[in-house]
Structure 1
Amino acid sequence: MPIEILYQNPQCEWIDVEAPTAKDLAYIHEKYHINTLLLEDTTDPNHLPKFEQDGDLKFFLMRENTELERRNLNNLSDVSTKLGVFLFRNKLITIHRMKNRSIRELKEEIVLPRNENIIPDKIALILALKVMRSFDDESTHLLEKMDLIENEIFLKRNNNANQIRRLYQLKRKAGLNARILSASSDWIKNFRSLNIHDAEMKDLQDKHDDVTTDFEHLTAQATNLISMFLAMSDQRANQVMKVLAIYSMYFLPLTFIAGIYGMNFDNMPELHQPFGYFITLGVMAFIALLTFLYVRRKKW
């Protein structure tokens, strides 16, 4: 049975539901009279974060960053997992589809003496802070990864197709996390309605603002790096074409002279002279020298 009572005292009861089935949701609806539409929101893998209130019931739908590395980054579920928090009277119910790091950590901390008389609103706040810290950890990881890629591109001159794929994947991941954090501002704002201190609310708001700024910076920086990478690739291609064009300048007049003397005609200048071959080679060398001096003067 995935329904478990994680904490209980006279003023607080914390019930956790992991990977709920339709039968589990029906049981929760019947016992606690929670709207089925709100319960269904907790099972939608790509539902955006939100806040809803139904009478004295407050529903916070959060999304926590996951540590999973997925190849396809198309949906919110590829970088995060949902955590539904229901608050009413002296009860707190958390519902999540998969194992949740915030739940696991708080489950270990809740038995400590300092949490002996904790209230549901305080548990919800701690969970919200842990959810925001999961994005903080991810932004730190992505920033380190971006610095590594940037050093490889500009210092080690290691520019290959794999770099652009890594940058694009990083940009996609940062963009999805930024979208989640942008939508999370609604439920964070409504934490003010809970029985928590203003300083604690300010701490949660500051953490949200910090990680939002980090992911916006990551997205912009990844976009700039991709543009710079492509510009550098074009510059290298242009440099190669420039070298080839210069070599063509050297050999074009020489090839023209060699082509003329390759014709099978008897009436050719210097054809029967003893030193005609060497005179022609000298003229070709002189033309090559003039071309070299012209290129140097133009600083090509």
Structure 2
Amino acid sequence: MITIYAQLFGKEFVNTLTFDELVIYLKDPQCIFWIDLDSPTLDEIHQIQDAFNFHPLCIEDVMSYSNSPKLDEFDEYIFLVTHEPRMHPETNEIERPEIDFFLGKNYLVSVHHEPSPAIAKSIHRCETQLLYHQAALYEKGSRGRTAIKDNFMFKNSDFILHTILDHIVDDYFPLVEKWEDDIDHLEEHVLSVRAERSVLNEILKLKRQLAGFRRTVSPQRDVLSRLIHLQHPAMSKASVVYFRDIFDHLIRVNELIDTYRDTMSNVLDAYYSVLSHQINENSHIVNIIMKRLTIITTIFMPLTFIAGIYGMNFHNMPEIRWEYGYYYALGLMGALALSMFYFFRKKFWF
């Protein structure tokens, strides 16, 4: 689907242009256009390519998924590949849908194959400003001037790009704040309870999320740095300070992610430390049990020996016919058992 917003000659702001009308007005540098392609068909992509004369390699990048953000500079436009990372509500894994931009001196073309919250917010802002602008046209004075001043479509096309990128980066912070809360919870949980497999799964999942998010933020920061220092007709001097503000936010987010990754490494070390302590405790308990069983076995060994001797069926055994032989054997076994028990207790083995 193709959506077109147009500012015509610094006076009109419309969203009703047909594609053929767009091609005609596009030649006038006093007009500003934002063309958004949402899940475009192959015919729509070729239609845009023919109208703007985009390079085939750029169209190839638009039609296929790019793993890394990139920036390519051409004579008439800048081609920018960005990602809008977000967390999947069911799997809690980081998704990285791609948004591609063609920034010209008086136009911005955005292409995305999945719904984009940043694009949706920018479109909503356009629709709101459109209504406000149409209402203000009937009034003279400050309100009409304010409607034009606050509408980014009445600035250069790079301000449209700034608005979308600003929405993308602003959506990073709720994710970062959520991870901060999750890390605090894990730190408390690791140190207050026994090391469980579920805790380890949570730690590894959070580390995986942070790593996936950093793979997007770090290259995106580098691409934006190139965009700020780019000398191109599509980039106005007035917009540089606004892009620099986004760049500062990306630096802050990147530093927070690095800090969280270091913290998660420490949490993982603490988990293994607690686990090692639990293993040592279990080993100690097992050793105590084995020692006690060994002592009990040792005490019963001489008793078993005595019982084995007098259990033999030889006729020439004097104690067999002795009246007090039974009591003598029991007394001997009891004395041996008590003596050995006293010896082990004195050595603190029992």
Matched, 1:5 2:14: no
Comparing 10-19 with 41-50, greater Cα deviation is found at 41-50
The CA deviation string for residues 38-65 of structure 1, in whole angstroms up to 9 with x for no partner, is 1221333343101111112111111111
Matched, 1:170 2:213: no
Normalised to the residue count of structure 2, the TM-score between the two structures is 0.75
Instruction: Please give the secondary structure, in 1, of the residue aligned with 2:328.
Output: coil
Which residue among 69, 73, 80 is the counterpart of 1:49? Answer: 69
Per the alignment, residue 119 of structure 1 pairs with 156
Pair member with larger Rg: 2
- Which letter does structure 2 place at the counterpart of 1:35? H
Matched, 1:36 2:56: yes
Q: 1:187 to 1:70 in 2, by over 3 A?
A: farther
Matched, 1:234 2:276: yes
The CA deviation string for residues 226-255 of structure 1, in whole angstroms up to 9 with x for no partner, is 232122112101111112212323332331
Q: 1:291 to 1:41 in 2, by over 3 A?
A: farther
CA distance in 1, matches of 2:64, 2:261: 26
Does structure 2 retain, via aligned residues, the 8 Å contact 1:66–1:80?
Answer: yes
Per the alignment, residue 14 of structure 1 pairs with 34
Matched, 1:106 2:145: no
- What's the offset of the Cα at 1:271? 7.8
Query: Unaligned regions of 5+ residues in structure 1, if any?
Result: 296-300
CA distance in 1, matches of 2:96, 2:5: 23
Per the alignment, residue 146 of structure 1 pairs with 183
Q: 1:93 to 1:283 in 2, by over 3 A?
A: same
Q: 1:257 to 1:158 in 2, by over 3 A?
A: closer
Query: Unaligned regions of 5+ residues in structure 2, if any?
Result: 10-30, 130-146, 311-316, 320-325
- When the two chains are superposed, the root-mean-square deviation of aligned CA atoms in Å is 2.5
Q: 1:274 to 1:179 in 2, by over 3 A?
A: closer
CA distance in 2, matches of 1:31, 1:197: 26
Q: 1:274 to 1:125 in 2, by over 3 A?
A: closer
CA distance in 2, matches of 1:146, 1:217: 11
Which residue among 175, 188, 207 is the counterpart of 2:249? Answer: 207
Matched, 1:181 2:233: no
- What's the offset of the Cα at 1:25? 1.2
Does structure 2 retain, via aligned residues, the 8 Å contact 1:41–1:47?
Answer: no
Q: 1:277 to 1:261 in 2, by over 3 A?
A: closer
- What's the offset of the Cα at 1:146? 1.8
Per the alignment, residue 79 of structure 1 pairs with 95
Which residue among 240, 243, 258 is the counterpart of 1:216? Answer: 258
Comparing 44-53 with 54-63, greater Cα deviation is found at 44-53
Per the alignment, residue 278 of structure 1 pairs with 334
Per the alignment, residue 298 of structure 1 pairs with none
The CA deviation string for residues 96-115 of structure 1, in whole angstroms up to 9 with x for no partner, is 11000101111122333311
